[in-house]
Structure 1
Amino acid sequence: MEGCATSHYWGRFAGAEGHEVRLIPPIYVKPFVKRLKNDAADAAAIAEAAVRPNLQFVAVKSAEHQARVVAYRTHQCFMSQRTQIINALRGHLAEFGLVFPQGVPHLKEIRAAMDDEDVDVPPSIREIAGLYLEHIDNLSAKIEELSLRLREAMAVSVGLCRLCTVPGAGPVTAGAIMAFAALLLRALT
């Protein structure tokens, strides 16, 4: 089975039915795709790759392992969205001569400027900035909630605790390593 988005789910399903499941990383299948991308060409490429003698298969991830991957990716997605929204707000305000430094810590300066009646911007800009700031607050709350979940997972997992002893590795970084490094996961648990 090639590594598509649902391969681990179907791998667990087939394994529960008594089948031997061997997932093939997509990078090993790609060289064998001979025609246009379609199901038949993909199946032929998978069959061709599967008979190669030195092919290394991927272990089927448990549902808990996949949940860690989703939590980490969601955390990263929300962080990216927050950065994008902050930069968009800064860009819009710069068009009115209000220039602010980058980063979450400087949001209080933006809030103060929007609350200051002496700052010369149209009322509609204050309203729009308020929408941006409200959205940033919502994302920040979700980011903190996900970070808390990642920290709580650390208390349960011996592997996560060990990874957090590495200088510079906190719960989020340790969670990412545990989520994406299957071999390391097996070695630590």
Structure 2
Amino acid sequence: MTVKTVGLDLAKDVFQVHGISENGRVIFNRAIKRAKLLAFFETLPPCLVGMEACGSSHHWGRQLRKLGHEVKLMPAGYVKPYVKRGKSDAVDAEAICEAVRRPTMRFVEIKTEDQQAILAIHRTRDLAVRQRTQLANMIRSLLREFGHILPIGIEAVAAFAKRHLDGDHPDMPEIANGLLGVQCYQFLGLNERIAGYSKMIEQHAMMSADARRLMRMPGIGPITASAIVATIGDAKQFRTGRDLAAWLGLTPLNKSSGGKERLGKITKQGDRYIRKLLVVGMTSRAVMAKRSPQKVDLWTAKIVADKPFRLATVAMANKAARAVWAMLTKKQEYRQPAF
């Protein structure tokens, strides 16, 4: 009996495979060691392989495609309803095998190695930024305990750190000043690393035609453009711009029933990193619209003037996501929104 569909439950060392025939009959459900996984799939005829989109799934997707299999990744949340009862690797593999055959299932595009490499820079930079924020808060709190207050902004902390390492110490106990020196040294080191990561991302953005096109949109810089291109890949996987906005969690949560439409806050589903970058970028544009309305388009000026500030920035991010889809799928340049 020929295997037509395989559900693969990924793991670090021991994988679970569940294979069925064309009519749904179970052919195997067994555990396989990592070292023997590719050899096992080499013995199978080309078939449909389903996996949850998780750590290492893109790697295994690329490897299995090289063997001639059709590989599809699915969000783990969409697979869960197909788990019958209990929790085990065998049950999960069976659920994956069942879910991948559903005609309405939504799939995740397999990323290339280059995409993942660029995203690794973004993740590393984002981690460094969060660590720098933690250090800045620690420096501020330590100074505050001894009556010293720093001005608002990360630049103020950087300036203080440089002065401290140059020997300009505040009036504090020697032990506290010693700890402060270590923190300032770490802070400036993180600053340098963040600048290096940012430069790498900017270089990648300048080498990508799609990223350069996106950078012409107000509120989108090289970091946002690079992240969008590396994460999305082929934007045609989304049918419309609204689908992309929904994937980024920028559309309202629908709780309609009984013919009454009830739209709530945004869903905040999908890629948090790109959503954050878009909202931050549109926030800077909204600030400009408040200060100088004549420098922005009429739609932006009106929504900032009429709506609460945060609601306006999220609405602008939603509209930006739709424009991004149009620019990537149709290879069009940015056009200001009509009033």
**Aligned position for 2:91:** 41
**Aligned position for 2:203:** 152
The answer to whether residue 57 in structure 2 is matched with residue 3 in structure 1 is no
**Structure 1 residues 110, 100: CA separation in 2 closer, same or farther (over 3 Å shift)?**
farther
State the AA in 1 paired with 2:147: G
- Which structure 1 segments of 5+ residues have no match? none
The answer to whether residue 144 in structure 2 is matched with residue 94 in structure 1 is yes
Q: Does the 8 Å contact 2:205/2:211 carry over to 1?
A: yes
User: For the residues of structure 2 that align with 1:113 and 1:66, how far apart are their CA atoms?
Assistant: 39
TM-align CA RMSD: 2.1
**Structure 1 residues 40, 160: CA separation in 2 closer, same or farther (over 3 Å shift)?**
same
Q: Does the 8 Å contact 1:86/1:103 carry over to 2?
A: no
- Which structure 2 segments of 5+ residues have no match? 1-50, 238-327, 332-339
**Aligned position for 2:232:** 181
Q: Does the 8 Å contact 2:161/2:188 carry over to 1?
A: no
**Aligned position for 1:21:** 71
For residues 108-123 of structure 1, the aligned pairs below 5 Å read 108-109=159-160, 111-112=162-163, 115-116=167-168, 119-123=170-174
Cα offset for 1:176? 1.7
Question: SS of the residue aligned with 1:23?
Answer: strand
Q: How many residues align structurally?
A: 188
TM-score by length of 2: 0.52
Higher relative contact order (CA 8 A, sep 6+): 1
User: For the residues of structure 1 that align with 2:215 and 2:89, how far apart are their CA atoms?
Assistant: 43
Q: Does the 8 Å contact 1:83/1:103 carry over to 2?
A: no
**Among 150, 153, 169, which residue is 2:220 paired with?**
169
Greater fraction helix: 1
Question: SS of the residue aligned with 2:70?
Answer: coil
The 4+ residue runs of structure 1 with deviation greater than 4 A are none
Greater fraction strand: 2
User: For the residues of structure 1 that align with 2:96 and 2:143, how far apart are their CA atoms?
Assistant: 52
Question: SS of the residue aligned with 1:57?
Answer: coil
**Aligned position for 1:60:** 110
Percent identity of equivalent pairs? 37
**Aligned position for 2:62:** 12
User: For the residues of structure 2 that align with 1:170 and 1:132, how far apart are their CA atoms?
Assistant: 30
Between structure 1 and structure 2, the one with the greater Rg is 2
